[in-house]
Amino acid sequence: MDFVAIDFETATSAWTSICSMGICVVKNNKVVETKELLIKPTPFEFNDYNIAIHGITPQMVWNKPNFCDLWEEIKPYIENQLVIAHNASFDVGALRKTLDLFQIELPTFDYLCTVKLSQKAYPNLQSHKLNMLGEELGIDFSHHDACDDAYACAMVLLNIIKDFGINSIQDIEEKFEVSSGKMYPGYVEACKKKKKSKPRKNI
């Protein structure tokens, strides 16, 4: 399978305060590229709580490009691709709100959440947080480093693909009863677990 894993770190609790983006490109089930982009958040504000989580300080990004200035570099990685993220509602939400902030048209892609997939694939684990999954699956990475988190997210899906004989997004949707999310200009649909239909009562 081909897909792209992404991860965002933010400077504050604001969705649009992206200060780092990690990208991991997978082609034919092999990691072929990893990338980190340091980003000057808009507005340029940080809080101590977020700094303590990811270690990115204002001094590290004050002279870096804004997200809008990096968009032409970022867009080809995700346009018309299968995008994955761990807790995709956060990462896709941050992407959407940041693009809206800069009045940039939304790209087109399908996406999946490896939290939801790992819950389906490995239901007996006590936690499906990325760091705990990394320990369980033998993935060596530095948690809350955007590039490493994107890599770990990709490796979670690659483990699922291997363990369950997955060959396509359709296999994933059918085997784990999930539906992929979608983004395209003017529209975002969440990825979600499919609800099992209840048997109808005879009247």
Q: What is the pLDDT of residue 203?
A: 36
- Cα–Cα distance measured from residue 83 to residue 110, given in angstroms and rounded to the nearest whole number: 6
pLDDT in tens, 133-186: 999 999 999 999 999 999 999 999 999 999 999 999 999 999 999 999 999 999
Ranges of beta strands (E only) in 28-71 are 30-38
Three-class secondary structure of residue 10 per DSSP = strand
Question: What pLDDT was estimated at residue 202?
Answer: 41
pLDDT in the model for residue 31: 98
Mean predicted confidence (pLDDT) in 20-30: 98
Does residue 76 surpass a pLDDT of 90? yes
pLDDT on residue 194:
74
**Residue type present at position 49:** Y
Write down the pLDDT at residue 195: 63
Which of helix, strand or coil describes residue 85?
A: strand
pLDDT tens sequence across 110-139: 999 999 999 999 999 999 999 999 999 999
Question: What gap in Å lies between CA 105 and CA 130, rounded to an integer?
Answer: 30
User: What pLDDT sits at residue 165?
Assistant: 97
**DSSP string computed for 91-150:** HHHHHHHHHHHTTPPP--EEEEEHHHHHHHH-TT-S--SHHHHHHHHT----TT-HHHHH
d(Cα 134, Cα 65) in Å, to the nearest integer? 31
Distance separating alpha carbons of residues 100 and 26, to the nearest angstrom = 28
Q: How far apart are CA 134 and CA 159, in angstroms?
A: 11
Sketch out the chain's domains with CATH numbers: 3-192 (3.30.420.10)
User: Tell me, what's the pLDDT at 196?
Assistant: 56
